[in-house]
Amino acid sequence: MDSRQKVIIIGGSHAGANVAFNLVKDGFNGDISILTQEKHPPYHRPPLSKDFFKGNLPQENLYFKQPSFYEENNIVLQTQTIVDSINRKEKSISGSFGTLEYSYLVLATGATPRTIVSAAANNTFYLRTIEDVMNITESLNKNSHVGLIGGGYIGLELAASLKQLGINPIIIEAEDRLLKRVTSEEVSRFYERFHINMGVQIRCSTKVIEYKKTEERIHNLILDSGESIYVDAVIVGIGALPNTRLAEDAGLSCNNGICVNEYCRTDDPFILAAGDCTQHQNLFFQHSMRLESVPNALAQAKVVSSSIVGNDLTYNELPWFWSDQFDLKLQMAGLSMGYDETIIIGNKSEAKFLSYYGKNGILIAVDSVNSPKEFMAIKRALSNRFNITMDTIKDPNFKPENLFSGSN
């Protein structure tokens, strides 16, 4: 291997692409390569279930950068490229391209949607890529009936998009309420009522026990309640599994993700990882976790670049998420797990409120609906480790934007 450093990034989504972008910003003067299985240059995924799905966003507007950017910044972008194995001893990877050597290898392999074997059919879909969206939208017409398996973010976002296209969605959720794993019952019920008022059908505490098929196409869903629901298509959104096979085969530690420390380094000092595929050490919470979110991917991409160029940036981020459904903007900051108190401030009837989560009298997380100004103030305060009591929030004079002015 020559003396010029070579960074190879496997995966071209938010984490992988932004590792390359950050290396350029950080002054890395070696060779940078991005290897992605997709045929498109790296692109934004959140619009796939929203504006792009509805046809309101041209495909080229999804791309992070135009192809010329990669050439101008000496980033080699190899699309439709599959990596089969990693040879840590030789510091090389092998695949459809032959063999490539690296100085540093970055695993940004992302996650793959959980599948339902019994739902396999020509009209069953999962949403992860541009092609997935195209396949779904090409198979549907106005007044089509679509069964959405799963009442999480993706199911609700797709329900909103489908309804806005004149298509009839029905959400089937095994839990007793929507978004149960991520939000309070009050927020769940608000979203359930809102979607129902917009014409979305919802079945909670219900499972599909049979997918009725004819010629490899599902036409009816049989629920455990005995109800039979006609569908033209099924879209499954029940979470995702981290893509860890390459790491596992290479002998790297994995546990619901590729294990990395606060510098995004794996067991191997020359292999780093970022994004949905990582089980990372979060200094903010002092324990490891796996997050599927764009902010997490972007933050880890900065840390990976820093580690490669020799700086000491560590991952120390407050988790936050967002979801757009109809004209509702849901923003969430912190982790509400283990909360023992909630306070709703605002007006649910006007779809503008915040739900505060407390534990032992201290604020640990917030959900915001159509309240971006207040959300950003609380997110900033939580990120700066402000010790905000729930009694403070209950004060009628409390205003999030005053947390940094000394008025509270």
CB of 96 closer than 8 Å to CB of 81: yes
Distance CA 333, CA 273 (A): 24
pLDDT at 268: 98
pLDDT in tens, 60-80: 999 999 989 999 999 999 999
Whole-number pLDDT of residue 1: 38
Amino acid at 296: N
Ranges 2-16, 223-237, 345-359, 393-407: which has the least confidence: 393-407
- The three state secondary structure string of 374-393 is HHHHHHHHHHCCCCCEHHHH
Q: Which residues pair with 369 in a beta bridge?
A: 330, 353
327-402 fold: Enolase-like; domain 1 (3.30.390)
- HSE at residue 305, side-chain half, CA atoms within 13 A, is 23
Residue 105 parent element (H or E): strand 104-107
How far, in whole angstroms, is CA 305 from its chain's centroid?
A: 21
* pLDDT for 114 beyond 50: yes
Confidence class for position 390, pLDDT limits 50, 70, 90: very high
**Mean of pLDDT values over 360-371:** 97
Sign of CA dihedral 177, 183, 186, 190: negative
What H or E segment, with its residue span, contains residue 16?
helix 14-25
Question: What are the DSSP E strand ranges found in 173-286?
Answer: 201-203, 208-214, 217-223, 228-230, 233-236, 240-242, 258-260, 271-273, 278-282
3-state secondary structure at position 75: strand
For 143-179, write each residue's pLDDT tens digit: 999 999 999 999 999 999 999 999 999 999 999 999 9
- The whole-angstrom separation of Cα 154 and Cα 49 is 7
Q: What band does 404 get if pLDDT is binned at 50, 70 and 90?
A: confident
For the ranges 16-30, 96-110, 213-227, 282-296, the lowest mean pLDDT is seen at 282-296
Contact present, 363 and 354 (Cβ < 8 Å): no
Superfamily of domain 6-111+241-309: FAD/NAD(P)-binding domain (3.50.50.60)
Among 135, 18, 12, 127, which residue's Cα sits nearest to residue 80?
12
| Cβ–Cβ under 8 Å, residues 5 and 104 | yes
Structure token digits, residue 202: 């919802």
Continuous segment of H or E residues that includes residue 302? helix 294-309
The structural architecture, per CATH, of the domain 115-236 is: 3-Layer(bba) Sandwich (3.50)
Model confidence at 406, pLDDT cuts 50, 70, 90, reads low
pLDDT tier for residue 3 given thresholds of 50, 70 and 90 = low
- Give φ, ψ of 222 to 5 degrees: -100, 115
C-alpha distances out from residue 94 to 11, 88, 143, 265, 315, Å: 15, 11, 48, 21, 30
Total number of residues shown for the chain: 408
Q: Check if the beta carbon of residue 237 is closer than 8 Å to that of residue 113.
A: yes
182, 293 contact by CB (below 8 A): no
pLDDT of residue 285: 83
Q: Is the pLDDT of residue 213 over 80?
A: yes
- d(C-alpha 202, C-alpha 208), whole Å: 13
The reported pLDDT for the residue numbered 189 is 97
Q: Is the pLDDT of residue 283 over 90?
A: no
pTM of the model: 0.94
CA dist., res. 388 & res. 305, Å (int): 34
Q: Taking residues 213-224, what's their average pLDDT?
A: 97
| Cα gap 258→274, rounded to integer Å | 9
- pLDDT-derived band of residue 237, with 50, 70 and 90 as boundaries? very high
Average of per-residue pLDDT values in the chain: 95
Mean pLDDT confidence for 46-58? 97
Taking residues 171-194, report their average pLDDT.
96
**Torsion angle of C-alpha atoms 118, 123, 127, 131, degrees rounded to 10:** 130
The domain locations on the chain are: 6-111+241-309, 115-236, 327-402
pLDDT at 350 over 50: yes
Give the percent of the chain with pLDDT over 90: 93
What does the block give as tokens for 16? 């992988």
Which residues does 131 contact at the CB level (< 8 Å), separation at least 6?
none
Task: Name the pairing type of β-strands 240-242 and 233-236.
Answer: unpaired
Check residue 183 and give its pLDDT. Answer: 95
CA distance 175 to 17: 36
What integer pLDDT is reported at residue 287 of this predicted model? Answer: 83
Query: Does residue 405 register a pLDDT over 90?
Result: no
Question: Are domains 6-111+241-309 and 115-236 of this chain identical in fold?
Answer: yes
